[in-house]
Amino acid sequence: MTHVCDGCGATVDAAHLQERIRRLERATRFRPLHIHTLLLLETPPPEPASDFYAVAGQAEEQGQECQSFTEASAGGDLTSVVARAIHVSREGKPRDEVLAAIQRAGMFVAYARECPQSDAGASSPPSAGEVQKLLLRARFSYKPKHVVALGARLRATVEALKQAGFAAENCAGPDEGSFAQSLGEALRRTGIA
């Protein structure tokens, strides 16, 4: 049995739809009522445990640092970098407490694309159609005061957001040089850090 996904428009199986719902539920748990700064990433990772809002209970119980984003991020775990940039202490705290503190600060993390990409699709920045869907989400759902988009591949997305009237800017992505510094500066300009 196949279905058309509301998120990516692809013909998908039931597992894809279930994972999309779980991804939305994970994020909703830590979504601020009013979003001051929307931190925009490009594409959800194919591995749910690497999602920004994944609460990696098992990993932490095993005494390991949560694996979220470590492969993608030269500067370390993205959640740690974001927390440090907005002066949220991460030391000794379980991941869900850090995510809750990020929420209280008014920050929400979302993906420009709603669904993970197949290998073929992952090589291109969001398409015009994907950007249009993001603009609808931004306008009618997120309503952020500021948008900071990670990575050069989201430049066209940021331009579209600006044209739609959002205060948006681009900063270096986790796999680009001086990411933590670039993110910190962008967040200070929004007033959240």
Q: Does 186 bind Zn ion (CB under 5 A)?
A: no
Interatomic CA distance for residues 87 and 102, integer angstroms: 9
Stretch that binds Zn ion, among 45-53, 111-119, 128-136, 180-188 (CB under 5 A): 111-119
β-strands 37-41, 3-4 pairing: unpaired
Hey, is 4 helix, strand or coil? strand
CA distance 168 to 149: 8
Helix (H, G, I), strand (E, B) or coil at 163: helix
Number of residues that bind Zn ion (CB under 5 A): 4
Nearer to Zn ion, 98 or 112 (CB): 112
Interhelix angle 78-85/179-190, nearest 10 degrees = 40
8 touches Zn ion (CB under 5 A): yes
Q: Which of 38, 115, 134, 138 binds Zn ion (CB under 5 A)?
A: 115
Interaction between residue 5 and Zn ion (CB under 5 A)? yes
What does DSSP assign to residue 16? H
Q: Does 24 bind Zn ion (CB under 5 A)?
A: no
Residue 171 lies near Zn ion (rule: CB under 5 A): no
By CB under 5 A, is residue 7 in contact with Zn ion? yes
The least distance separating Zn ion from the CB of residue 29, rounded to whole angstroms, comes to 20
Site residues for Zn ion per CB under 5 A: 5, 7-8, 115
